[in-house]
Amino acid sequence: MDRQAWQELLSRHRGKLVGALIGLAFALMTIWLGLWWTLFVWGCVLLGYLAGKHLDDEDATVADVLDRLLPPGRR
């Protein structure tokens, strides 16, 4: 197959490829780290992704995100 055929194949099946790679990463991490550590790592990745997405979408600062996530302090 030439390069153009590979690019077309990957563009049409990108979701399947990403899903397969995520599944492979989860399986390997479960074998190496165990289930609970793997879930912890994926949870941290998810929280980081959501915070970054929020920063990108709303032009917010890190302080704005922390103020929204954490309870207000006592004064």
In this structure, are residues 65 and 55 in contact, taking their beta carbons and an 8 Å threshold? yes
Q: Give the span between the Cα atoms of 8 and 50, in whole angstroms.
A: 30
Q: Give the N- to C-terminal CA distance of the chain in Å, as an integer.
A: 67
Is 65 a residue whose pLDDT tops 90? no
If one counts every other C-beta atom within 10 angstroms of the C-beta of residue 61, the result is: 10
pLDDT band at 12 (very low <50, low <70, confident <90, very high): confident
Better pLDDT: 58 or 19: 19
Q: Which residues contact 65 (CB under 8 A, 6 or more apart)?
A: 51, 54, 55
Please compute the mean of the pLDDT values over residues 35-64 and round it to a whole number.
84
Asked if residue 74 has pLDDT above 90, the reply is no
